[in-house]
Structure 1
Amino acid sequence: MSKKKIYIAGKVTGLPQQEVIDKFAKAKQEIEEMGFEVVNPIEVVNDFDTPWNEAMKMCIMALLDCNAMVLLPCWIDSKGAQLEKDIACAFGLELLFL
């Protein structure tokens, strides 16, 4: 049986790059330690200069390849994470909160 694949959603835009990198890396490590395969959107886009619309397209495609989504506490302050949550719900992905 394959591992459940989980996408991480949280605030990126407007925050210092290193803070974002560290926050998502910490979440990825915690989720991997629980035995899941993790999709980190920071690694999916891999370039902070990517325009928001293009980054979101990449992230949504990665999200749709997952079984579940973990929402970081900061997700509520993020237009992108709110959109990702709505898409996850529309496609029946399990929602988890970290």
Structure 2
Amino acid sequence: MPLEHRKTYLSGPMNGLPELNFPAFHAMTASLRAAGHTVTNPAELNPDGGTWNDCMRRDIAALMGCDTVATLPGWEHSKGARLEVLIADRLGMTVVNAHDLVSMEVA
């Protein structure tokens, strides 16, 4: 299945970053959607934040409906993003760099 027809979950760091890194999540989501991707954005799932556990429970449930995980810069330093990527990898989902995914659409 071509990547553009898959459901993509956006994963990246939030905690400890200004505005929980929501601007980066929203900008990448807009770019991916403009390229035709169906995107699940955890910043949209948790607009008011919440506890890490509550947010991760919502995020992981949403992740299960996706085929691809697209990672934002710094994901490897995020406990939550590392968990999302680990789950995706173990379940045989595609894991790609979000910026590479956008670049592939432009090429």
TM-score > 0.5, shorter chain as reference: yes
Q: Structure 2 CA distance, aligned partners of 1:61 and 1:54?
A: 11
Q: 1:88 Cα deviation (Å)?
A: 0.5
Matched, 1:82 2:56: no
| Count of aligned residue pairs for this structure pair | 96
Q: Which residue matches 2:103?
A: none
Bigger fraction of residues in helix: 2
Residue 53 of structure 1: SS of its match in structure 2?
Answer: helix
Per the normalisation by structure 1, the TM-score is: 0.90
Query: What stretches of structure 1 move > 6 A for 4+ residues in a row?
Result: none
Residue 14 of structure 1: SS of its match in structure 2?
Answer: coil
Which of 12, 15, 29 is matched with 1:13 structurally? 15
Q: Structure 2 CA distance, aligned partners of 1:11 and 1:76?
A: 8
Provide the alpha-carbon RMSD of the alignment: 1.7
Equivalent position amino acid for 1:5 in 2: K
Q: Structure 1 CA distance, aligned partners of 2:84 and 2:44?
A: 16
* Identical aligned residues as a percent: 34
Matched, 1:42 2:43: yes
Per the normalisation by structure 2, the TM-score is: 0.83
- After superposition, what is the alpha-carbon deviation per residue over 1:52-95, rounded to whole angstroms, capped at 9, x for unaligned? 01100100000111010101111011010000000011111111
Q: Structure 1 CA distance, aligned partners of 2:74 and 2:10?
A: 11
Q: Structure 1 CA distance, aligned partners of 2:51 and 2:25?
A: 19
Listed as ranges, the matches of 1:17-96 within 5 Å are 17=19, 20-48=21-49, 50-96=50-96
Q: 1:12 Cα deviation (Å)?
A: 0.3
Which segments of 5 or more consecutive residues in structure 1 lack a partner in the other structure?
none
Which segments of 5 or more consecutive residues in structure 2 lack a partner in the other structure?
100-107
